[in-house]
Amino acid sequence: MASASRSIVSLALVLAACGHTPGSPSTADVVVAVLPEEGGKVGTVVVHPTSGDTKVLNSAYAGAHLRGAGKVESVTLDRPQVDRTFGAALSALPIPPVSYLVYFLEGSDELTPESHANLSRIAAELANRPAAEVAVIGHTDLVGNDQYNDALSTQRAQRVRDELVRAHVPPERIEVAARGKREPLFRTAEGVADPRNRRVEISVR
Amino acid sequence: MSQLHATVRLTIVRLTIASVALALAAAWSAPSLGADAGRIKVSKGSVSIQRDGKKLPAPVGAAIQQQDTVVTGADGTVGITFQDSSMLSAGPNSVLTIDKYVFDRTTNKGEFESSLKQGTLAAVSGKMVKQSPESMRVKTPAAIMGVRGTEFVVRVTEPTR
């Protein structure tokens, strides 16, 4: 219900923005198509025309062509058409965001030796990313109370931040957060020391 | 009967006050989620940001906020990554407005509305859409696209007048 009324509001906004009153559709020509992602997966886009029926696009290169007075036509593009029309826009897509995990010794803010080496590679990757922004989020396993783990996860995140700054990542581009033991990657019983949960997530965009 | 009526009315008044208070709280807390919706990661040729009636340069690293309009010239392309990892990029001669961007990094909930008035757009959805489908919408003069997780492209051509 709430979402239905919201989309009506958005619809009204679009019509207002275009200087059209409801019932006099836009004269703009609009083409939309979904593309296969890496690995061949295709998502879904739902086209809500200002007049005419909703169309669901959920197969590779499936599209809709809207022109003039409420004419909605299903179309299928091919790769050469996509490249011709959208090549410039597609080539300006940023490097996709990525997320890394580094792991720690039990009850400590010392990285495991393997993660220590990984962190250097991550820092190097960051240096190659234009205007990189980094979120560093600390976690613990389920040993100890919240107070202890909040402090420990903060220390771990801070430790990773310091290493990244030392590797010349600008400090103003790094956000630090800590979740204690609230978001274990692997749900274990309380008090279980699981190395997979003693981690810091480095989320890069 | 009239007592029941009064109780109902009182409840409605309370609910209204509560929802107004909630709306105010939401409006108040919105800036603390970060005024920046995204950041420019790719900028080639002529690209500018229109903000509060001013025209600003749009180099790599520039922040993008709600209500900004990004404009590319005949040789311009631009790529933006948003807080929830969604991405928008525009080809030459494009006019793209970020109408609304709200994102809660803890719950991954939010709302992302942009409009392409003219030109070409490529879009990749992010964490927000995984949390709630169609929370990301791209508006055009002829249709609104609700995104349920995908990479897609849009072109808007206005008739020559």
pLDDT tens per residue, range B89-114: 999 999 999 999 999 988 899 999 99
Check CB contact of B39 with chain A, cutoff 8 Å. yes
Same domain, residue pair B23 and B72: no
Residue A94 DSSP symbol: P
On the question of pLDDT at A38 being above 50, the answer is: yes
* Structure confidence at residue B24 (pLDDT): 44
Q: Is residue B14 part of a domain?
A: yes
Return the residue in A50, A86, A126, A179 with the most chain B beta carbons within 10 A, the one to mutate for interface testing.
A86
Q: Is residue B161 part of a domain?
A: no
Same domain, residue pair B47 and B104: yes
Contacts of A50 in chain B (CB under 8 A): 141-144
Query: How, if at all, do strands A45-49 and A55-57 pair?
Result: antiparallel
pLDDT tens-place string over residues A159-169: 999 999 998 89
Same domain, residue pair B14 and B74: no
* Structure confidence at residue A198 (pLDDT): 98
- Residue A43 has its nearest CB partner, among B60, B143, B150, at B150
Contacts of B160 in chain A (CB under 8 A): none
Which domains does chain A possess? 9-91 (no CATH), 98-204 (3.30.1330.60)
Same domain, residue pair B3 and B65: no
Of B160, B96, B148, which is closest to residue B122 (Cα–Cα)? B96
Q: Judge: B147–A45 Cβ closer than 8 Å, yes or no.
A: yes
* Structure confidence at residue B42 (pLDDT): 98
Residue of B nearest to A46 (CA): B146
* Structure confidence at residue A5 (pLDDT): 37
Q: Confidence class of residue A86 from pLDDT cuts 50, 70 and 90?
A: very high
* Structure confidence at residue B6 (pLDDT): 54
- Residue B142 has its nearest CB partner, among A28, A43, A93, at A28
Number of domains composing chain B:
2
Query: Which domain covers residue B74, as residue numbers?
Result: 36-156
Same domain, residue pair B109 and B85: yes
CB contacts < 8 Å between A and B, how many?
181
Same domain, residue pair B94 and B17: no
Q: Confidence class of residue A26 from pLDDT cuts 50, 70 and 90?
A: low
Sort residue B125 into left (φ over 0), alpha (ψ -120 to 50) or beta. Answer: beta
Mean pLDDT: which of A13-22, A96-105, B6-15 is highest? A96-105
CB-based contacts of A112-115 (< 8 A; 24+ apart in sequence): A112/A195
Q: Is residue B2 part of a domain?
A: yes
Return the residue in B47, B75, B155, B157 with the most chain A beta carbons within 10 A, the one to mutate for interface testing.
B155
Q: Confidence class of residue A12 from pLDDT cuts 50, 70 and 90?
A: very low
* Structure confidence at residue B158 (pLDDT): 85
* Structure confidence at residue B4 (pLDDT): 52
pLDDT tens-place string over residues B63-97: 999 999 999 999 999 999 999 999 999 999 999 99
Give me chain A's average pLDDT, please.
87
Tokens of B48: 């500018």
Contacts of A129 in chain B (CB under 8 A): 41
Q: Is residue B94 part of a domain?
A: yes
Same domain, residue pair B54 and B114: yes
φ, ψ at A68 (rounded to 5°): 60, -145
Same domain, residue pair B56 and B113: yes
Q: Judge: B144–A35 Cβ closer than 8 Å, yes or no.
A: no
Percent of chain B with pLDDT over 70: 77
* Structure confidence at residue B14 (pLDDT): 52
Check CB contact of B34 with chain A, cutoff 8 Å. no
Same domain, residue pair B100 and B136: yes
Q: How far apart are CA A188 and CA B135, in angstroms?
A: 33
Output Rg (C-alpha) for chain B, integer angstroms: 19
> Identity (one letter) of the amino acid at B9?
R
On the question of pLDDT at B1 being above 60, the answer is: no
Return the residue in A9, A30, A99, A169 with the most chain B beta carbons within 10 A, the one to mutate for interface testing.
A30
Match 């942009």 to its residue by tokens: B114
Same domain, residue pair B52 and B96: yes
Contacts of A95 in chain B (CB under 8 A): 41
Percent of chain B with pLDDT over 90: 71
Q: Is residue B23 part of a domain?
A: yes
Match 């990773």 to its residue by tokens: A160
Torsion sign across C-alpha atoms A136, A137, A138, A139 = negative
- Chain B: nearest CA to A113, how far in angstroms? 30
Same domain, residue pair B22 and B41: no
On the question of pLDDT at A23 being above 90, the answer is: no
Same domain, residue pair B82 and B59: yes
